[in-house]
Amino acid sequence: MSNYNIAVLAGDGIGPEVMQEAKKVLSVVEQKFNLTFTLNEFDVGGIAIDNHGKALPEATLKGCEDAQAILFGSIGGPKWDSLPLEERPERAALLALRGHFDLFSNLRPAKIYPGLESLSPLRADIAASGFDVLVVRELTSGIYFGQPKGIEGEGEEQFAYDTMRYSKKEIRRIAISAFEAAQKRGKKVTSVDKANVLVCSRLWREVTEEVAKDYPDVTLEHIYIDNATMQLLRYPGDFDVMLCSNLFGDIISDECAMITGSMGLLPSASINSENFGLYEPAGGSAPDIAGKGIANPIAQILSASMLLRFSLNLTDAADAIDAAVLKTLADGILTGELLSPENRDQAKSTSEVGDYIANII
Amino acid sequence: MSNYNIAVLAGDGIGPEVMQEAKKVLSVVEQKFNLTFTLNEFDVGGIAIDNHGKALPEATLKGCEDAQAILFGSIGGPKWDSLPLEERPERAALLALRGHFDLFSNLRPAKIYPGLESLSPLRADIAASGFDVLVVRELTSGIYFGQPKGIEGEGEEQFAYDTMRYSKKEIRRIAISAFEAAQKRGKKVTSVDKANVLVCSRLWREVTEEVAKDYPDVTLEHIYIDNATMQLLRYPGDFDVMLCSNLFGDIISDECAMITGSMGLLPSASINSENFGLYEPAGGSAPDIAGKGIANPIAQILSASMLLRFSLNLTDAADAIDAAVLKTLADGILTGELLSPENRDQAKSTSEVGDYIANII
Ligand SMILES: CC(C)[C@H](C(=O)O)[C@@H](O)C(=O)O
Ligand SMILES: CC(C)[C@H](C(=O)O)[C@@H](O)C(=O)O
């Protein structure tokens, strides 16, 4: 019987209640597949600021280092928004974890599930043509981390600056992630850049073309970021894997999430070259609905499934969770935000959805 | 009788044929309002490369310097795409003109016209809630022009870098443009940034807040770029003026253009502090439909109207053009791309639309 060590960081807002359901599902998976998951829980984000004075306490970081993967909830909320930027949950915990573990490969799948087309903000005929995209975003370089970054000068001449920076090595490893993923999907990579303006984008294009040569079965296209935000709205079905730098991936992945109209269903993975990873829902901590038992636990449950698949290599267990989620949606076991206003009285609670998925497995 | 000197740069693709219609409209305006427009035509873009060896010949630049405003068509096409980046029409002509004349304030209105809601790629109920946004984009600074920019090192360690840079002065003048515009519209400015990551965005927020104090009747909101791309799809009616840096404005203005579903209707203005400006359609040169007489001339005609309004201060004449365009759309005088496939046999040609608008004036 194999034993796996997972650090569980539920965080703020709806984090703890959706994490509860992910743990429920993991425990069923343990029985069914004869595995043992040792789940060690740690404070992170706002709750960690409240309890320990900082968003990423040493004990939490140590717990993550000792684990094989991190199952992350969500962090932040109005209570901590007035803190100096560097101390706020998002930067002090999330960006810090990405940097510390070199989680350079961010996978953000976004798809319109069968039967949920009407949630998409896109026109019915466009949504009906299908949407199933994997955004592969570089997560530890680019303008987020590039140096120098700062502010200089006085008066009206005072100026701020940030540096966008990419090495060939950094571009190559994320491009490889994208091509590997495309081989298992629709065999198409659309690389998003601004090569008509940015030197970084020109190097990005050059290296991406080089990597493409090793994947003759995968088609590579290049698109400018401004055009990408447009074509996604008009021809969403044309995309498969979208390869993006850190900043462009932040924008494109959020646009893709919104195109599905069901953010509460979308997981994400942030992985390093040893397959260690942090897995979290794509949505935020949603403080407005926290504690009400109405949040959708599926993004958190699918994050657990991605964790099993990518960091623990437990493909069968991950497949079982994914299939159970699909069936749950097909059976119409939905939290309120997925229902039209007329049908909202049929909404299931967070734990009812978790139970249903656990039962199927 | 007042005489105005306008440089006309029709460019490539559909540029010349839609420019023809804008000139037709300007000539009617001359008669009706007792004005004289001296229109001096110059080559720009691909045609200038073919005729003079470069995208922005000296004579063209000189002609622009001698004029009170530039009416620009569109440039570029497959024929010139294989040139080195620095020589291509977009950079060598468009970015060069923006820089040369310090055209820092880019105004890109995007709205869903009454009766044309079904062209929007957004869901019918969302499109019905209305969309009328003015993107105010900073156009001569930021990561487009920031120094240093380059490529260094060898092998896999070779790296590229671009610098995003904004001074208080640069932020202040574009913020003022946005607040001035908002006062004449919906009295709301939504400033788009990434202040949780970029130092430039923090300075952007600080200066924008300062400027807001001088416009107590205008509401200021801040939104992260990633969230902005999402909210535009779900709540497009919530936005009035969107204030953006150069790169974010490039992305947001194209997303807004696509939301209208009618790019052929959208003009844009790029203005400096003396109200000298370059006016051009938001769409591209559309080489695939060039020469067929089917391109929509309205974006070009509305660009001429913006030119009269902003650079020549001819408000009545501009109002007359805008009203004529509105009536033309309301009367259903439409080029093919605005019609559903079933009705496409009712499509009017480029010159028929131009004639109709000219007649109304
Ligand atoms: C919170 C923020 C710094 C973060 C980012 O921009 O990466 C978020 O938007 C995300 O995409 O995970
Ligand atoms: C052609 C390109 C350099 C340009 C830009 O990015 O500014 C275009 O996309 C625009 O928005 O006018």
CA dist., res. A214 & res. B62, Å (int): 50
Nearest CA, atom 10, ligand 2: B250
Interchain pair A160, B165: CB under 8 A:
yes
pLDDT value at residue A213: 98
H-type alpha helices, chain A: 15-33, 46-52, 58-66, 89, 96-100, 124-127, 168-183, 199-212, 225-234, 246-260, 298-310, 315-330, 350-360
The phi, psi pair for B295, rounded to 5°, reads: -65, 145
Mean per-residue pLDDT over chain A, rounded = 96
DSSP β-bridge partners for residue B135 = B108, B242
pTM value > 0.85: yes
Instruction: Name the residue of A196, A225, A230 to mutate for ligand 2: max ligand atoms within 8 A of Cβ.
Output: A196
CA dist., res. A143 & res. B198, Å (int): 8
Q: In angstroms, how far is the first alpha carbon of chain A from the final one?
A: 19
Give B293's DSSP letter.
T
Tens digit of each residue's pLDDT (9 = 90 or more) over B252-307: 999 999 999 999 999 999 999 999 999 999 988 999 999 999 999 999 999 999 99
Burial degree of A184 (CB within 10 A; 0-12, 13-18, 19+)? exposed
B84-93 residues labelled b (16+ CB within 10 A) or e (exposed): eeeebbbbbb
Which residues of B are annotated as catalytic?
144, 194, 226, 250, 254
pLDDT (tens digit, 0 to 9) for every residue of chain B, 361 residues total? 589 999 999 999 999 999 999 999 999 999 999 999 999 999 999 999 999 999 999 999 999 999 999 999 999 999 998 888 788 898 899 999 999 999 999 999 999 999 999 999 999 999 999 999 999 999 999 999 999 999 999 999 999 999 999 999 999 999 999 999 999 999 999 999 999 899 999 999 999 999 999 999 999 999 999 999 999 999 999 999 999 999 999 999 999 999 999 999 999 999 999 999 999 999 889 999 999 999 999 999 999 999 999 999 999 999 999 999 999 999 999 999 999 889 999 999 999 999 999 999 9
Of B169, B227, B258, the CB nearest to A157: B169
Centre of ligand 1 from the C-alpha of residue A170, in Å:
19
Taking CA–CA distances from A194, the nearest residue in chain B reads B247
Of B150, B195, B200, the CB nearest to A161: B200
Query: What's the full length of chain A, in residues?
Result: 361
Contact yes or no for B358/B297 (Cβ under 8 A): no
Residue listed under structure tokens 């979308």 = A266
pLDDT value at residue A356: 98
